[in-house]
């Protein structure tokens, strides 16, 4: 499906379809101390399966893979939407790069594919991510109880957020 994604350029970053050569950089990003508690353990095989072989962009800043943006598009005409997952490495954290990547992708899906509804579902305890998504325009819909298994094996709540373009 990555062949269907275009390369998109933001003000400070590039979103380009993730490729096999990105696997080592993505494994490193997923192992960072601030990332692993939210994402769990990823080896190259899992990255390849879950992050590269689906509709995924590598986030490049100054030609360095510094993040990842996954888009799960629902093309059903009666229920069109796009759900996102985003990861930004420590090197970019706090600089608004995740927000910029989401804005660039949302604009493309709205303009080129006609989508008006977008969702994202961070862990309910991931305050930093929630603040970033709210800055993009996502609003809290509700808590998804015992939504995902955390890396420590315990169930944790998620927060469903949506952005609806008028």
Domains within the chain, CATH numbers bracketed: 2-164 (3.40.630.30)
Spell out the residues 6+ positions from residue 76 whose beta carbon is closer than 8 angstroms to its own. none
Q: Mind listing the pLDDT tens digit of every residue in the chain (166 residues)?
A: 344 899 999 999 999 999 999 999 999 999 999 999 999 889 999 998 887 667 799 999 999 999 999 999 998 889 999 999 999 999 898 999 999 999 999 999 999 999 999 999 999 999 999 999 999 999 999 999 999 999 889 999 999 999 999 8
pLDDT computed for residue 1 by the predictor: 38
* 55 contacts 84 by C-beta, under 8 angstroms: no
C-alpha span between 161 and 81 (Å, rounded): 13
Task: Report the pLDDT value the prediction gives residue 124, as an integer from 0 to 100.
Answer: 97
Whole-model pTM: value is 0.93
Which residues, in sequence order, are CB contacts of 108 under 8 Å at separation 6+?
6, 8
pLDDT confidence of residue 40? 87
Q: What is the pLDDT of residue 135?
A: 97
Q: Which residue is associated with the tokens 């005409």? A: 77
* C-alpha span between 78 and 29 (Å, rounded): 37
Q: What is the dihedral of CA 160, 31, 89, 108, to 10 degrees?
A: -50
CA dihedral of 110, 134, 96, 52, whole degrees rounded to 10: -60
């Amino acid at each position: 499906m990555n062949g269907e994604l275009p390369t998109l350029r933001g003000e400070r970053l590039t979103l380009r379809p993730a490729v096999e050569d990105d696997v080592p950089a993505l494994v490193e990003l997923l192992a960072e101390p601030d990332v692993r508690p939210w994402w769990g353990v990823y080896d190259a095989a899992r990255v390849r399966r879950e992050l590269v072989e689906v509709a995924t962009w590598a986030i490049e800043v100054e030609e360095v893979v510094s993040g990842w943006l996954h888009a799960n598009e629902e093309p059903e005409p009666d229920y069109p939407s796009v759900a996102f997952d985003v990861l930004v490495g420590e090197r970019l954290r706090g600089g608004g790069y995740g927000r910029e990547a989401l804005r660039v992708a949302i604009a493309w899906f709205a303009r080129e594919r006609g989508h008006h509804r977008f969702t994202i579902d961070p862990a309910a305890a991931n305050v930093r991510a929630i603040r970033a998504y709210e800055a993009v325009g996502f609003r809290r819909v509700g808590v998804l109880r015992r939504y995902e298994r955390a890396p420590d094996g315990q169930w944790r709540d998620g927060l469903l957020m949506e952005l609806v373009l008028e």
